[in-house]
Amino acid sequence: MKRRTSQPKTVPVRYVCRGVGHVELRRFDALRDSFVALTALLHRAFAPLGAQGLNCTCVDQTIETTRASVLRGDCHVAVCDGQIVGTMTLYASDGEAPCELYRHGDVASLRQFAVDPAWQARGIGTLLLAFAEHWAATRGYAQLALDLPQSATQQIGFYRGQGFRVVDFMRFADKCYDSAVLSKPPVAMRTLANWSRRLRAAPQVAHAA
């Protein structure tokens, strides 16, 4: 499958999330959404790793860093009652990435993935990953990859529960820890089937990418 060079229009998808109500999954809109709020969400979500002495970028990154990352990739947010409660940014293959896997032409990567601590354990992270997998599969990528501190065992367990496997370890520049690199082959049909059990209006799914 040939990867698309232009970004298709995203139709917001609304679904019912456990104990939350209606959550909208859509692309981050720099004209109406707040980079300040998005940065604050990342800080809250990564605070436990920061408390462990891990200098992850998202622990204390500046608003400018958030903005640059969002504009380089394809950022999506989960929104409930007008509040951003989850986010992720998807990247095409990057020939200049320090991680070798990210440089492969058939690999997409997932970064700045976070769910607000007050909204965790309600299925939002699972939905975001399902969308990420669909995003990668429909663009012809053979793998969807991400990285996180090797010592973040709880987070690694979550991703492994979603089908990711550890494929490498590396030390990124300026980090005080080794990172685990995880990857999985995206399967669009499986993720669409998962969505169909949550969506209020299943026909929207075909347009969600």
Structure tokens at 38: 């998005």
**Domain limits, the chain:** 13-207
Quote the DSSP letter at residue 205: G
Q: Would you call 116 helix, strand, or coil by DSSP?
A: coil
pLDDT in tens, 92-113: 988 888 999 999 999 999 999 9
pTM: 0.80
In DSSP notation, 178-200 reads -EEEEEE---HHHHHHHHHTTBS
Asked whether the CA dihedral 122, 119, 129, 12 is positive or negative, the reply is positive
The residue to which tokens 């040939």 are assigned: 2
pLDDT tier, 81 (very low <50, low <70, confident <90, very high otherwise)? confident
- What class, spelled out in words, does domain 13-207 have in CATH? alpha beta
* Cα–Cα nearest to 144, from 77, 89, 209: 89
pLDDT in tens, 174-207: 999 999 999 999 876 554 545 544 443 333 332 3
The yes-or-no verdict on residue 209 having pLDDT over 70 is no
Read off φ and ψ for residue 136, nearest 5 degrees: -70, -45
Residue 101 CA to residue 168 CA, distance in Å, equals: 9
